[in-house]
Amino acid sequence: MLRNAIKNAQYHGINVYHGAKIRPDGDCVFGSVIDNLNSRDCFIESLKPDPVYWRRIWMGELENVAYDVWNGSMSREQWKSAFHQLKQPGIYEVALGDFIPLGIAHCIEKNILVFSTSPNASCPVHVIPANNFGKVASTSLLGL
């Protein structure tokens, strides 16, 4: 899959390279973001390489800021229960699992780029903006 994403990016004139090998353990999006922040010269931040720690911190913040923006008609109790799951290591395929990348982008104040693995994708890059829940991104989208 990684090879396909890199090939697809190259096909569209985008030069990317892979970082550290991240285990597909349900915490991989956290590990991938941490690796990118810690290993790419374009970022000055550095985070301790502990996806479980950052999952609790970031999902806790998202739980507190996102409800008033979008709650999917959940009650506060349902919301709290869903976020209890999202704070657990290895959990991704749950009701609010798709909120995880949005929450990470918000918390790290970075727009996250996701490269498609399909050469037939209508859009090779998907942007997850950092400003969904009131923060301003410290990254720009120049060149995209």
**pLDDT tens per residue, the chain (144 residues)?**
778 777 777 887 877 777 788 888 999 999 999 998 998 888 888 999 999 999 999 999 999 999 999 999 999 999 999 999 999 999 988 889 989 999 999 999 999 988 877 778 788 788 999 999 988 888 765 444
pLDDT value of residue 144:
40
CA distances, 53 to each of 28, 48, 92, 137 (Å): 13, 9, 15, 22
> DSSP letters along 11-57, please?
HTT------S----SS-HHHHHHHHHHHH-TT------S-HHHHHHH
